[in-house]
A and B are shown apart, each in its own frame.
Chain A
């Protein structure tokens, strides 16, 4: 199915947490400031209901998203108040993908874990947690995965300050 078909199906099954969608568009000739948006369409979902949303995506017969391909986060800019959670789902049976975005306030970055739905998200969530400081509630093993266990800070946030030294080794 194409994106519109997936979106219609999601609305039809009343997938929990579906807030809206965003699709690429050309620049608006009337508005000089609007450059348009390139790339992929994605669905916008409420972060707290993300886990149930992907469960609905996985369990529905017409959507049949067997695999979670990617779960990551983005910090759009230093001034932005919200982080994005980006999820990519894949259906092998129907050969379609779905990109999902959930907005998470930086001040209260926590949401239920997707591990009960897809085991694949276990390691992705660990990476997100250490890189962005997001807390995944209910994650079975919330340790750092790529960074050392005693690392301070969330490196991929835009306001991250590099440490001056680590265990006596200078980082200049």
Chain B
């Protein structure tokens, strides 16, 4: 798609002389080229989609990225291993714990250290709580995109509690740098686990509110069902992951299928299930399915947190690591289940203090690639719904 405006009808058909007294004029006008973004309330960050529309019908879309590119990968080659951790917080700033986790697991794969059990359980609790928080934002802001102003505030009410829990354990509300190489950096303060248990109970009571108020609301269903359908083949071909594939009916979750930390143990205990969309309200793989998966996943995360609380042990929270870390030479790729999909870290070391290559495979970057294919043919209102349902965070798309 070039940048010029083109007519959709070839010149020969626009003006036709049928006979001397009759002239047919084609009144089709050129398509409108508009910028959806970079400043726009609904692009979930600084992203620009160059849309071509015929009135309200979108006939072409071209995402333009890079407005939030902060050279995370280049920085990874210039700072020490442990110093890189705060940068990992900032790509997917809504799920910082999971980013820290992905990076730490990748480096630990090279180090080959044993993580204390207590640290693993606290890591899982933090990751799952952050997943709940991230899905709350995704669901709430999706409601905002659709025009429902209130569920957003209900979601943020629970998220506030989650953020205050994290503030108690590590001092930060959004970018934690808590899960470090070798474990977690701080033990939980007294009473923290009890408060997490209380949070789980209260959340379980509040969760039906989201379903009743938004998810099964007829107007919401009409706005999201049969919109932005991603077929199974498209999901696999584009390398989508996370809620995008589960929303298209593919039963795949890295926590169960390629387990890391003790997720395998939790799965074998039958503590949680993986919600996979069944196309209840429309075509399988539409926006409603994806938001349904996110809402259901929140409950599953609560179950995982409860399991970890029940099986909590005492002990150290971080392994013994030197202050200046020298990671053995080698390369490793570790992919974890981020709220948005598979977050992969590929780290290459030559035995030194600084990495040779820190590659971040951001799920939002890969998930966004389908936009070029699924936006044309929808209305402008649908375009907003589709972009919202991909649940992207532009920090992760651009890194």
Binding site for B on A (CB under 8 A): 24, 35-40, 42, 66-70, 72, 74-77, 86, 88, 90, 92, 95, 97, 99, 118-124, 131, 144-148, 155-156, 158
Question: Does A70 contact B236, Cβ atoms closer than 8 Å?
Answer: no
With A86-B359, A123-B369 already in contact, the answer to whether A76 and B348 are too (CB < 8 A) is yes
User: A-B pairs with the 7 shortest C-beta distances?
Assistant: A120-B239, A38-B330, A39-B330, A39-B332, A146-B66, A38-B328, A74-B357
User: Is chain B's binding surface mostly helix, strand, loop or mixed?
Assistant: mixed
Chain B residues near A88 (CB-CB < 8 A): 333, 335, 344, 346, 361
Q: Complex: how many Å from CA A83 to CA B351?
A: 19
Given known A-B contacts A92-B250, A148-B66, A99 and B329 have beta carbons under 8 A apart: no
Q: Mark B316-349, 1 if CB is under 8 A from A, else 0.
A: 0000000000011111110100000010101011
Whether the pair A76, B356 counts as a contact (CB closer than 8 A) is yes
Give the number of chain B interface residues (Cβ < 8 Å). Answer: 46
Contact of A40 among B109, B250, B342 (CB under 8 A): B109
CB of B257 within 8 A of chain A? yes
- Pick out which of these stretches binds chain A: B68-76, B153-161, B191-199, B295-303: B68-76
Contacts of A39 in B (CB 8 A): 109-110, 330-332
Pairwise interchain contact A40-B329, C-beta atoms closer than 8 A? no
> In the assembled complex, how far is the CB of residue A90 from the closest CB belonging to chain B, in whole angstroms?
8
Shortest Cβ distance from B236 into A: residue: A66
Give CA–CA (A36, B111) in the complex, Å: 12
In the bound complex, how far is the Cα of B238 from the Cα of A124, in angstroms? 11
Q: Is the CB of B369 within 8 A of A120?
A: yes
In whole angstroms, how far apart are the Cα atoms of A38 and B327 in the complex?
9
Q: A72-B346, A74-B348, A131-B73 are in contact. List 5 more A-B contacts (CB 8 A).
A: A35-B328, A40-B333, A120-B238, A146-B69, A155-B74
Is B89 among interface residues, defined by CB-CB distance under 8 A?
Answer: no
Query: Is B172 interfacial (CB-CB < 8 Å)?
Result: no
CB distance from B282 to the nearest CB of A (A): 24
Known A35-B351, A69-B344; judge A119-B329 contact (CB<8 A): no
Q: CA A70 – CA B334 in complex, angstroms?
A: 11
> Which A-chain residue is minimally distant from B250 (CB atoms)?
A92
Distance (Å) between the CB of A77 and the closest chain B CB?
7
Smallest CB separation, B74 vs chain A (Å):
6
**B330 touching A120 by the CB < 8 A rule?**
no
Determine the chain B residues whose CB is within 8 A of the CB of A123 once the complex forms: 365-366, 368-369
Task: Tell me the minimal C-beta distance from A22 to chain B in angstroms.
Answer: 9
- Residues in A whose Cβ lies below 8 Å from that of B258: 95, 97
- CA gap between A123 and B399 in the complex, in Å: 14
* B65 CB within 8 Å of chain A: yes
Q: Tell me, in angstroms, the Cα distance from A72 to B365 when the chains sit together.
A: 13
| Pairs A–B under 8 Å by Cβ, sample size 21 | A37-B329, A38-B109, A38-B329, A38-B349, A40-B333, A67-B239, A69-B344, A70-B361, A74-B348, A74-B359, A77-B356, A86-B346, A92-B257, A118-B237, A119-B237, A120-B366, A120-B369, A123-B368, A146-B69, A146-B398, A146-B399
